[in-house]
Amino acid sequence: MEYYSGKINQLIEELAHLPGIGAKSAQRLAFYLLNQPEENVKRLADVIVDAREHIRYCRECYTLTDREVCPICSNENRDHRTIMVVENTRDLAAYEKTGKYEGVYHVLHGAISPMLGIGPGDIRLKELMTRLQQDVGEVIIATNSSLEGETTAMYISKLIKPTGIKVSRIASGVPVGGDLECIDEVTLLRALEGRVEL
């Protein structure tokens, strides 16, 4: 790329490493940044480095946070006897946005995937089992509705059942507002199996 000079090429290459950023987007981002006031660009760089430096896992639920115990786990108004198991911090955020869930979470940071060689030891399962030695009433498994998510859910439920703690799985079915026509067959069958009496 002789048409851009050294530092611009370097910037484009670095940006193109980011997920979901192709060669074109990297160029657009690069020139956007080069046209910004220097202090804005410095602030962005500082925020990136600062967040990365201070990031850690919550001691309780293993979500990514900048504190020893995350805001949810340190909130005494939450129901600490109900633990929702999610694959990652973004899934946690998705449930938090509903504003209706009052329990706490456990973030696995992944799902079991024999295909990718990710076993039970590679996600935060041991940590979950340790938490269950405290007073827990219910574990709600909210891993994704994918092959990996389902495998993980089954694995966890088998692990927990012997402890006598209640284990549940979030329902799968037709999304609210979803047009039946546009929904895949597996989901349609799931929705049928999971039908509830009115």
Contact residues for a second copy (CB under 8 A)? 1-8, 10-11, 14-15, 17-20, 25, 27-34, 36, 38, 41-55, 64-67, 70-72, 88-90, 92-93, 96-97
Nearest residue (CB) to a second copy, 66 versus 158: 66
In the block, residue with structure tokens 């293993």:
62
What whole-number distance in Å separates Cα of residue 153 and Cα of residue 111? Answer: 9
Residue among 28 and 190 whose Cβ is closer to a second copy: 28
Expressed in angstroms, the distance from the first to the final Cα of the chain is 65
Cβ distance to a second copy smaller for residue 41 or 191 = 41
Residue among 14 and 192 whose Cβ is closer to a second copy: 14
CB of 147 vs a second copy, minimal distance in Å? 21
- For residue 120, count other CB atoms closer than 10 A to its CB: 14
Kindly list the distances between the CA atom of residue 2 and the CA atoms of 12, 31, 166, in Å, as whole numbers in the listed order: 13, 16, 63
At closest approach, how far in Å is the CB of 43 from a second copy? 7
SS3 193: helix
